[in-house]
């Protein structure tokens, strides 16, 4: 297993256990224990299999002896007895209901026990017959929300979040690259373009022996089902339900095949039409003259150049004006991973994170960062062990000690003292003004009351943005990809207020969120002129790796480093934050 993928895979199964326990109505503390362990594992820097082999699983925050035993069982067998027992006890269709935005395990369990409903179809029928509102604790409003959520779910049902698909794709590329006859292998499709939801994983490889590559591919350890096996194309389904397509081509065919299989379909249609206008033929096998002669295409950029276009980065290939811009030579210089000098929103073991201040800092230094913002949760989020003023002060003192130590050692790095302060139901903040005034950075976020109406939610966030000590609005729409829709908020009003007050908006790079979306990030930055920050919201050192997803959002939004605050050096950043 690849490092990140195996950690993700174990985390998925622990999350499933937590979900099934919640549906059964088990103790909330027990449910949270599984979910916290899953969250930590997703971002854990070390490969969990190696930690297990060394007998160090209980060193991972939130993993006790009982959980360690289950993780070892999962690593050995791909599952564990506790999970299989729960799968037998809880009908499979119930967990699918958790994908309905706004529906949690308690609600699913309540409906199951009250009406015996076990499938989405049965749930929809009961809602349309107004039977859900008869269950104590639900009511008509909840029934309507469930119906709306089912409609949203239909759109996403056959798609997986990028944060799950990308690690699998990367793992499979690693497997295939290890085969001597594979000359090159790359991720293609919507994963390469950075779409937040993907139907499947597309891979393309160059090899003189495609049959050998295909035989290797269909027998990889993560494959659960071979859907199609051909000479140059095969399709499999992994044991985690994700479909993967592999195309094998020759070395000279590879550039055009990679471009074609990356897509999007609309972008490719435009390119083929442009080729025809020039008397050429373009397909997945190459670029050809009228007489069938292959034109030289050593890399994707050569193909674009033959069509009189600038090279168009994969994230822009959505037919949203990129062809016209490339023809005019006006494509933007997009943000790169290496442009960011820090991450402003991270959690530690002071609240619900898995690593200490120093461990998070050293992971940031290893990435070449010059600063890291420590923004643990504030006190009202008790489930996350949020900080009150006294604990925040003690954390600040520890940060100062570490900063002085690194300064003496000549390290060009500092921790920034911050907080992710809860925006309460009426828009007030969870900590006093004098506490917030002493911090380097204040990120304000909504963590409760997601079902407020549009007017109330908009006024709530507006009040927080107008607070003099708030610098950034965290995960501005509140979505959890595949699990919770955006809250009902007038986002343009929020943009207007952010611009008036000189506040920044976050692109939360956590693969669960990617919030702001690329569409809203583009509008906020390019149309409203609002500065953005890209943060991982990391709850462990390994979670800093999610920054790549946030950068992809920014690239899909046509943004460069000039639009992103944490591409600035510490002095310029703090000047913006009004804390210098």
Which CATH number is 241's domain given?
3.30.460.10
CA distances from 58 to 51, 360, 501 (A): 9, 19, 47
What CATH number corresponds to the domain at position 348?
Answer: 3.20.20.140
Cα four-point dihedral sign 172, 176, 177, 178 = positive
Whether 496 and 567 share a structural domain:
yes
CATH code, domain with 278:
3.30.210.10
Question: Torsion angle of alpha carbons 367, 368, 371, 373, nearest 10°?
Answer: -10
Looking at residue 154, its pLDDT comes to 63
Q: In this structure, what CATH number is given to the domain that contains residue 110? A: 1.10.150.110
Closest by Cα among 137, 145, 18 to 450 = 145
**What's the pLDDT score for residue 334?**
98
- In a shared domain, residues 58 and 100: yes
Regarding whether 434 and 297 lie in a shared domain, the answer is no
Confidence of residue 152 (pLDDT cuts 50, 70, 90): low
Exposed, middle or buried: residue 106 (CB in 10 Å: 0-12, 13-18, 19+)? middle
Name the band, by pLDDT with cuts 50, 70 and 90, for residue 157.
Answer: low
d(CA 79, CA 283) in angstroms, rounded, equals 43
- The number of residues making up the chain comes to 580
Backbone angles phi, psi at 267, to 5 degrees: -65, -45
Number of domains present in the structure of the chain: 4
Last residue in a domain, options 328, 356, 375: 328
Residue-level pLDDT at 156: 55
Greater pLDDT, 570 or 523: 523
Instruction: Find the angle CA(543)-CA(546)-CA(551) to the nearest 5 degrees.
Output: 150
- Are 403 and 453 part of one and the same domain? yes
Residue 503, number of CB atoms within 10 A of its CB: 20
In this structure, is the dihedral angle defined by the CA atoms of residues 99, 105, 107 and 109, taken in order, positive or negative?
A: positive
Backbone angles phi, psi at 343, to 5 degrees: -125, 130
Could you give the CA distance from residue 535 to residue 526 in angstroms, rounded to a whole number? 19
Q: Are residues 41 and 91 in the same domain?
A: yes
pLDDT over threshold 90, residue 279: yes
Tokens describing residue 221: 């350890």
The answer to whether the beta carbons of residues 535 and 507 sit under 8 Å apart is yes
CA 85 → CA 93, 216, 305, distances in Å?
A: 16, 33, 58
Are residues 554 and 453 located together in one domain of the fold?
yes
- Decide if pLDDT at 402 tops 60: yes
- Angstrom distance (rounded) from CA 284 to CA 277: 18
Q: Mark whether 565 and 433 lie in a shared domain.
A: yes
535 pLDDT exceeds 70?
A: yes
Whether residue 428 sits in one domain with residue 401: yes
257 within some domain:
no
Res 74 pLDDT > 80: yes
Is position 261 within any domain?
A: no
Tell me, what's the pLDDT at 3?
35
Q: For Cα atoms 353, 358, 364, give the angle at the middle one, nearest 5 degrees.
A: 85
Does any domain span residue 9? yes
The arithmetic mean of pLDDT across residues 537-552, rounded, is 93
Helix axes 357-366, 389-408, angle to 10 degrees: 50
Burial of 24 (0-12, 13-18, 19+ CB in 10 A): middle
Query: Cβ–Cβ contacts within 10 Å for residue 408, how many?
Result: 8
Report yes or no on 74 lying in a domain: yes
CA 440 → CA 355, 374, 569, distances in Å? Answer: 21, 10, 14
Whether 466 maps to a domain, the answer reads: yes
Q: Tokens standing for 563?
A: 């639009």
pLDDT above 60: residue 52: yes
Q: Which of residues 292, 310, 328 is at a domain's end? A: 328
Whether residue 287 contacts residue 297, with contact meaning beta carbons closer than 8 Å, is answered with yes
Give the list of residues 6+ apart from residue 569 with CB closer than 8 angstroms, or none: 341, 370
More confident residue, 242 or 423: 423
Q: What's the pLDDT score for residue 2?
A: 38
Is 50 or 318 the better-scoring residue by pLDDT?
318
Cβ-based neighbours of 151, under 8 Å, separated by 6 or more: none
Rounded Cα distance between 255 and 2, Å, is 26
Structure tokens of 153?
């779910």
The Cα angle at residue 372 between residues 366 and 377, in degrees rounded to 5:
130
Tokens found for residue 560? 């460069």
Q: Which element (helix H / strand E) includes 161?
A: strand 160-161
What letter would DSSP give residue 526? Answer: I
Is the pLDDT assigned to residue 1 strictly greater than 60? no
pLDDT in tens, 467-495: 999 999 999 999 988 777 898 999 999 99
One domain, residues 235 and 372: no
- The pTM for the full model equals 0.78
Is 244:236 a contact under the CB 8 Å cutoff? yes
Same domain, 98 and 179: no
Residues in Cβ contact with 429 at an 8 Å cutoff, skipping those fewer than 6 apart: 378, 421, 422, 423, 436, 444, 464, 467, 469, 470
Q: Is residue 141 part of a domain?
A: yes
Q: Which of 110-114, 132-136, 296-300, 515-519 has the lowest mean pLDDT?
A: 132-136
pLDDT exceeds cutoff 50 at 347: yes
- Is 256 domain-assigned? no
Residue 297 lies in a domain: yes
Residue-level pLDDT at 352: 86
CB atoms within 10 A of CB 118: 17
524 and 464 housed in the same domain: yes
Residues 296 and 351 in one domain: no
**Residue span of the structural domain in which 114 resides:** 3-156
């Amino acid at each position: 297993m690849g490092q990140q993928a195996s950690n993700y895979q174990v985390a998925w199964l622990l999350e499933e256990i937590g979900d099934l326990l919640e549906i059964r109505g088990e103790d909330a503390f027990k449910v949270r224990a599984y979910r916290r362990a899953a969250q930590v594992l997703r971002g854990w820097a070390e490969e969990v299999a190696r930690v297990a082999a060394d007998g160090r699983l209980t060193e991972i925050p939130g993993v006790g002896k009982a959980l360690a035993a289950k993780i070892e069982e999962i690593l050995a067998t791909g599952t564990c007895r506790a999970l299989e027992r729960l799968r037998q006890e809880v009908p499979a269709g119930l967990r699918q209901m958790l994908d309905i935005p706004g529906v949690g395990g308690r609600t699913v369990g309540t409906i199951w026990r009250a009406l015996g409903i076990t499938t989405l179809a049965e749930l929809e029928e009961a809602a349309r017959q107004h039977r859900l509102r008869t269950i104590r604790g639900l009511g008509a409003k909840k029934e309507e929300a469930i119906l709306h959520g089912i409609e949203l779910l239909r759109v996403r049902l056959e798609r997986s979040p990028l944060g799950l698909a990308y690690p699998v794709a990367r793992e499979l590329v690693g497997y295939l690259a290890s085969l001597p006859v594979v000359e090159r292998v790359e991720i293609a499709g919507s994963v390469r373009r950075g779409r937040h939801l993907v139907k499947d994983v597309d891979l393309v490889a160059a090899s003189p022996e495609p049959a050998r590559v295909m035989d290797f591919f269909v027998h990889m350890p993560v494959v659960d089902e071979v859907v199609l096996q051909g000479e140059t194309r095969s399709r499999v389904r992994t044991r985690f339900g994700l479909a993967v397509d592999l195309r094998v081509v020759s070395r000279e065919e590879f550039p055009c095949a990679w471009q074609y299989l990356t897509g999007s379909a609309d972008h490719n249609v435009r390119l083929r039409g442009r080729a025809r206008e020039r008397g050429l033929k373009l397909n997945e096998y190459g670029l050809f003259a009228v007489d069938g002669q292959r034109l030289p295409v050593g890399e994707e950029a050569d193909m674009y150049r033959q069509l009189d276009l600038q090279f168009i980065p994969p994230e822009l290939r959505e037919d949203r004006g990129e062809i016209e811009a490339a023809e005019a030579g006006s494509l933007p210089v997009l943000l790169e991973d290496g442009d960011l000098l820090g991450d402003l929103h991270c959690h530690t073991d002071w609240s619900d994170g898995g690593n200490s201040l120093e461990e998070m800092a050293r992971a940031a230094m290893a990435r070449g960062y010059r600063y890291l913002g420590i923004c643990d949760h504030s006190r009202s989020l008790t489930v996350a062990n949020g900080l009150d003023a006294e604990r925040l002060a003690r954390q600040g003192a520890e940060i100062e000690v570490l900063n002085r130590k690194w300064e003496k050692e000549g390290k060009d790095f500092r921790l920034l003292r911050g907080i992710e302060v809860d925006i309460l139901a009426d828009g007030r903040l969870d900590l006093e003004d004098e506490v917030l005034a002493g911090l380097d950075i204040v990120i304000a976020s909504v963590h409760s009351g997601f079902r407020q109406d549009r007017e109330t939610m908009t006024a709530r966030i507006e009040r927080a943005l107008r607070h003099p000590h708030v610098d950034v609005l965290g995960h501005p729409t509140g979505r959890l990809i595949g699990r919770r829709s955006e809250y009902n908020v007038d986002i343009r009003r929020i943009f207007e207020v952010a611009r008036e007050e000189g506040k920044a908006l976050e692109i939360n790079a956590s693969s669960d969120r990617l919030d702001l979306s690329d569409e809203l990030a583009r509008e906020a930055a390019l149309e409203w002129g609002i500065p953005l920050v890209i943060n991982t919201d990391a709850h462990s050192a390994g979670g800093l790796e999610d920054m790549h997803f946030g950068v992809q959002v920014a690239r899909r939004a046509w943004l460069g480093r000039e639009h992103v605050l944490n591409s600035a050096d510490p002095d310029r950043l703090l000047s913006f934050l009004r804390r210098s």
